């Protein structure tokens, strides 16, 4: 599953969601859905999972356990496609008849729905679902006006894959800080140990915003911040400017792929397999795309994006999914029981062990296997998300973040670009 593609799909219809669901208007601060509190309402509960999120065996176990624990109840698991999901949610969540009871969302979608009353306030369930064990950045994304509407289901950890053999040939140690990673990329680019045509020390295109955001967030920057009800662009801040200067340095001096297309970003592993790049960023679940022969020969290493100080972990964007209860649920008691089961030991373990994801309860990440398993939990615990506003979906759908990073990749003046985009972001976010 491609989380970058998912976030684009999720946000492209943001304006339509804001308009189409505005009439939802359910009192989500109450503790009762359409099925009422208590045991009334339908005994058939419907959950929507997204394509490739939950393994088939995990779905089967969930259905069996839920129906065994709730006599007479039926769990209907429906798997949805990412294409067109926002429009489908817009229609379904607004309908008392068509709405699913429990829904999986891309984590950047949640504000689109929580802000218009389409989801139930589940603040009273946070502790029961995991409390402090839940991925904090996803809790922030699931919160709207101090109320919790969605909790983290799973995440993908963004890590760096690098050629250990090329590092060794160029006399480069594994970087332990962001400055060391920048220096390593530039040194490797210049060394080109295998003398491969079109070799780059790092794959670092402007069209890969979520990778570039690791620098922005690690330096303490952000796209925007909210004070009261007013948003202000923050790309011109001292922290953001330090990040942007470092990003542009890498793009201009350590890669030949700074202006690669969004489509090519998805196939970066092919460049890695062909020896044309020395390192690149991808999710922990992408390790299988790297040639097994390279793993077997000990040529590949994995590291978390380092922080500003040696030995620390940086702050990357983390794509993933969250779970919420529809305000138009048909049986609140059963919907809550399903949510509790989704955060139970068996389901969380399966999401890591079988699905390969970092589960919403991070302590279960120990069940992860694969080369990035040992660092994935730490990466997620340090993750940061983009501004939590339904209007951010509109900006993202209009490719404002991607176009911003492409301008940096082209070598435009960092301060000028930041000032331009700060105004664009503030104007858009303050329309909400």
273-317 residue pLDDT tens:
999 999 999 999 899 999 999 999 999 999 999 999 999 999 999
Q: Is residue 287 part of a domain?
A: yes
- 149 and 166 in a single domain? The answer is no
What DSSP line would sit under 124-172, residue for residue?
GGHHHHTGGGB-HHHHHHTEETTEE--EEEEE--EEEEEEHHHHHHTT-
Q: Distance between CA 49 and CA 321 in Å, rounded?
A: 10
Are 121 and 29 in contact, with CB atoms under 8 Å apart?
yes
pLDDT value for 116: 93
Q: Distance between CA 3 and CA 12 in Å, rounded?
A: 14
**Count: domains in the chain:** 2
Q: How many other CB atoms sit within 10 Å of the CB of residue 50? A: 19
The average confidence (pLDDT) of the chain is 91
Nearest to 426 by CA among 405, 395, 384: 395
Q: Is residue 386 part of a domain?
A: no
**Residue 432 confidence class, pLDDT cut points 50, 70, 90:** low
Are 299 and 272 in contact, with CB atoms under 8 Å apart?
no
pLDDT value for 83: 84
Q: Is residue 244 part of a domain?
A: yes
- 331 and 423 in a single domain? The answer is no
Q: Distance between CA 369 and CA 12 in Å, rounded?
A: 34
Query: Does the CA dihedral 67-72-73-76 come out positive or negative?
Result: positive
Q: Distance between CA 19 and CA 87 in Å, rounded?
A: 11
Mind listing the pLDDT tens digit for each residue in 115-159?
999 999 999 999 999 999 999 999 999 999 999 999 999 999 999
Check residues 77 and 370 and name the one with the higher pLDDT: 77
- 116 and 165 in a single domain? The answer is no
**Residue 404 confidence class, pLDDT cut points 50, 70, 90:** very high
- 32 and 127 in a single domain? The answer is yes
pLDDT value for 318: 87
- 418 and 274 in a single domain? The answer is yes
The SS3 of residue 321 is strand
The SS3 of residue 323 is strand
Q: Is residue 384 part of a domain?
A: no
Whole-prediction pTM: 0.84
- 284 and 201 in a single domain? The answer is yes
**Residue 16 confidence class, pLDDT cut points 50, 70, 90:** very low
Q: Is residue 393 part of a domain?
A: no
The SS3 of residue 157 is coil
- 407 and 263 in a single domain? The answer is yes
Q: Work out the average pLDDT over 249-261.
A: 97
176 pLDDT exceeds 60? yes
Residue-number span of the structural domain to which 99 is assigned: 3-156+318-374
100 pLDDT exceeds 60? yes
pLDDT value for 394: 84
Q: Distance between CA 119 and CA 144 in Å, rounded?
A: 11
pLDDT value for 344: 98
pLDDT value for 51: 93
- 180 and 294 in a single domain? The answer is yes
Mind listing the pLDDT tens digit for each residue in 183-229?
999 999 999 999 999 999 999 999 999 999 999 999 999 999 999 99
Query: Does the CA dihedral 19-24-30-31 come out positive or negative?
Result: negative
Helices (H), 297-413: 332-342, 345-353, 373-381, 390-397, 400-409
Q: Is residue 389 part of a domain?
A: no
The SS3 of residue 231 is strand
- 13 and 146 in a single domain? The answer is yes
- Where residue 195 sits, what CATH number does that domain have? 3.40.190.10
Q: Distance between CA 406 and CA 212 in Å, rounded?
A: 10
What DSSP line would sit under 30-88, residue for residue?
SS--TT-STT-S-SEEEEEEETTTS-HHHHHHHHHHHHHHSTT-EEEEEEE-STTHHHH
Q: Is residue 116 part of a domain?
A: yes
Q: How many other CB atoms sit within 10 Å of the CB of residue 240? A: 23
Q: Is residue 228 part of a domain?
A: yes
pLDDT value for 396: 86
What DSSP line would sit under 184-195, residue for residue?
HHHHHHHH-TT-
Are 109 and 12 in contact, with CB atoms under 8 Å apart?
no
Q: Distance between CA 216 and CA 52 in Å, rounded?
A: 30
pLDDT value for 24: 52
Nearest to 126 by CA among 114, 113, 140: 140
Check residues 225 and 23 and name the one with the higher pLDDT: 225
Mind listing the pLDDT tens digit for each residue in 327-351?
999 999 999 999 999 999 999 999 9
- 288 and 275 in a single domain? The answer is yes
Query: With pLDDT > 70 as the criterion, what percentage of the chain qualifies?
Result: 91
**Residue 6 confidence class, pLDDT cut points 50, 70, 90:** very low
Q: Work out the average pLDDT over 32-50.
A: 71
The SS3 of residue 92 is helix
Q: Helices 209-218 and 400-409 meet at what angle, rounded to 10?
A: 80
Check residues 106 and 20 and name the one with the higher pLDDT: 106
Check residues 82 and 15 and name the one with the higher pLDDT: 82
Query: Among 374, 389, 409, where does a domain finish?
Result: 374
- 274 and 331 in a single domain? The answer is no
- 173 and 196 in a single domain? The answer is yes
């Amino acid at each position: 599953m491609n989380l970058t593609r998912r976030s684009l799909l999720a946000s492209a219809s943001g304006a339509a969601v804001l308009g189409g669901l505005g009439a939802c208007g359910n009192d989500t601060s109450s503790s009762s859905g359409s099925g009422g509190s208590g045991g009334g309402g339908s005994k058939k509960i419907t959950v929507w999972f997204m394509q490739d999120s939950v393994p088939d065996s995990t779905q089967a176990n969930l259905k069996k356990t839920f129906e065994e624990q709730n006599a007479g109840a039926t769990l209907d698991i429906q798997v949805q496609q990412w294409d067109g999901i926002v429009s489908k949610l817009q229609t379904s969540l607004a309908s008392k008849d068509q709405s699913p009871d429990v829904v999986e969302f891309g984590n950047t979608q949640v504000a689109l729905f929580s802000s218009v009353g389409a989801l139930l306030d589940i603040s009273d369930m946070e502790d029961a679902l995991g409390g402090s064990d839940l991925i904090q950045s996803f809790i922030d994304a699931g919160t709207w006006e101090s109320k919790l509407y969605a909790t983290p289901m799973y995440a993908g950890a963004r890590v760096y894959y690098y050629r250990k053999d090329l590092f060794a040939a160029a006399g480069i140690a594994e970087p332990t800080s962001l400055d060391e990673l920048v220096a390593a990329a530039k040194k490797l680019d210049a060394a080109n140990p295998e003398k491969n045509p079109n070799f780059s020390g790092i794959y670092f295109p402007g069209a890969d915003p979520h990778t570039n955001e690791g620098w922005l967030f690690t330096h303490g920057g952000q796209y925007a911040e909210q004070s009261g009800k007013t948003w202000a662009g923050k790309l011109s801040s001292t922290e953001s400017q330090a990040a942007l200067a470092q990003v542009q340095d890498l793009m201009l001096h350590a890669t030949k792929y700074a202006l690669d297309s969004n489509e090519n970003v998805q196939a970066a592993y092919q460049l890695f397999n062909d020896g044309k790049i020395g390192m690149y960023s991808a999710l922990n679940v992408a390790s299988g795309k790297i040639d097994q022969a390279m793993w077997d020969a000990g040529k590949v290493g994995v590291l978390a994006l380092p922080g500003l100080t040696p030995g620390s972990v940086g702050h990357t964007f983390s794509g993933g999914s969250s779970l919420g209860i529809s305000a138009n649920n048909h049986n609140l008691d059963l919907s809550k029981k399903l949510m509790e089961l989704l955060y139970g030991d068996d389901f969380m373990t399966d999401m890591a062990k079988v699905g390969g994801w970092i589960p919403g309860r991070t302590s279960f990440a120990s069940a992860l296997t694969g080369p990035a398993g040992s660092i994935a939990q730490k990466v997620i615990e340090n993750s940061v998300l983009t501004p939590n506003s339904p209007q951010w979906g509109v900006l993202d759908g209009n490719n404002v973040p991607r176009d911003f990073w492409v301008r940096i990749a082209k070598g435009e003046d960092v301060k000028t670009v930041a000032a331009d985009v700060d105004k664009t972001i503030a104007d858009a976010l303050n329309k909400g």
